Amino acid sequence: MSRLFLAAILALGSCGGVTAAEADSSWLAVEGADGPGKGKRVVLISGDEEYRSEEALTQLAKILAARHGFDCVVLYAIDPNTGEIDPNNQTNIPGLEHLREADLMVIATRFRNLPDEQMKEIDDYLQAGKPVVGLRTATHAFNIPTDRAYAHYSNGYHGEKAAWADGFGRLVLGEKWISHHGHHGKESTRGLIVPGAEEHPILRGIDDGAIWGPTDVYGVRLPLPGDSQPLVLGQVLAGMTADAPPVEGAKNDPLMPIAWTKTYSVDGGPAGRVFTTTLGAATDMVTEATRRLLVNGCYWAVGLEEAIQGDARVDAVGSFQPTPFGFGGARKGLVPAGLR
């Protein structure tokens, strides 16, 4: 195990306990149990004001660790004055140095304006062509001023670095922020498997129509760029329950992709695998098929697709009662250890 990850999870118990030292830290480490992911290191980067990525990625990390053997470190937007998780703090996600020895980056940030030294850790990771899983608002993960070194990561970038047109979202994940295609907070999402994609490893164990989330379908530009392969289409539902009927009309004709794979390369460097889904709010993870989609996506991204089992456990670890999405409703007073 690497020194960074060993330091992060030193003395953690096999059931994912937290040491006294870690309780004062700015991130949460969860040691992997036995499983196909044993020896693989995953860094999960939260930081959004609306969809409770701090809750979603913490639960995903616990599932990956306890059920599948991955060593995980979850990073958060931290108020440097209090040490508390503050999703509204757009300028500080400590612990990104863990990416130096990570096998996978999972990202669910929104419009972050991180300092150069933090952005460099992300940039170095991507320059190496290492795998990425992007959730929901990661399509618009960054919003960095034009006079800064990493301005090209910004959503909608149109500067002199032509390859970076539309920023990190478009270049790496396959799309930037476009629109709420479904009526936000009024129309939920059912996932339909793309015809012909049924045998893709990421969809193993997932029935057509079983994926559901209360978040709305995001708009994307069709076709998706490069070698993007849509796997799941988002059917806009006329209501906020899994059994709501689909809306009629143009919102479902054509259907928008909500999960796809692709590869990326930065400045001609090595190519890396990407799995992107515009699902990913904490409340989306209440549905088993949605959790399975995320777990399977992580397996595929690190090259473990042969190990994906359709009946593998993806049930929540511990109590999981996610906070509803919306601005201003994040839980207050939490430190990373409080989300164990």
Q: What does the pLDDT average to over 95-105? A: 98
8 A C-beta contact, residue 215 and residue 281: yes
Structure tokens at 316: 């929540």
What global pTM score does this model have?
A: 0.94
Dihedral angle of Cα 37, 41, 43, 44, to the nearest 10 degrees: 10
DSSP state of 172: I
| Interatomic CA distance for residues 224 and 220, integer angstroms | 8
Q: What does the pLDDT average to over 94-123? A: 98
Single-letter residue type at 1: M
pLDDT recorded at residue 338: 83
8 A C-beta contact, residue 217 and residue 236: yes
pLDDT recorded at residue 49: 97
| Interatomic CA distance for residues 172 and 175, integer angstroms | 8
Percent of the chain with pLDDT over 90: 91
In 3D, which of 264, 227, 23 has the Cα closest to residue 122? Answer: 264
Q: What does the pLDDT average to over 25-33? A: 95
In 3D, which of 289, 280, 186, 294 has the Cα closest to residue 241? Answer: 186
Single-letter residue type at 97: E
Q: What does the pLDDT average to over 78-92? A: 96
| Interatomic CA distance for residues 160 and 169, integer angstroms | 17
Structure tokens at 218: 């995001």
| Interatomic CA distance for residues 212 and 290, integer angstroms | 7
Mean pLDDT value across the chain: 93
Q: What does the pLDDT average to over 19-31? A: 70
End-to-end CA distance of the chain: 22
Where does residue 47 fall: left (phi above 0), alpha (psi -120 to 50 degrees), or beta otherwise?
left
pLDDT at 15 over 60: no
Q: What does the pLDDT average to over 273-291? A: 98
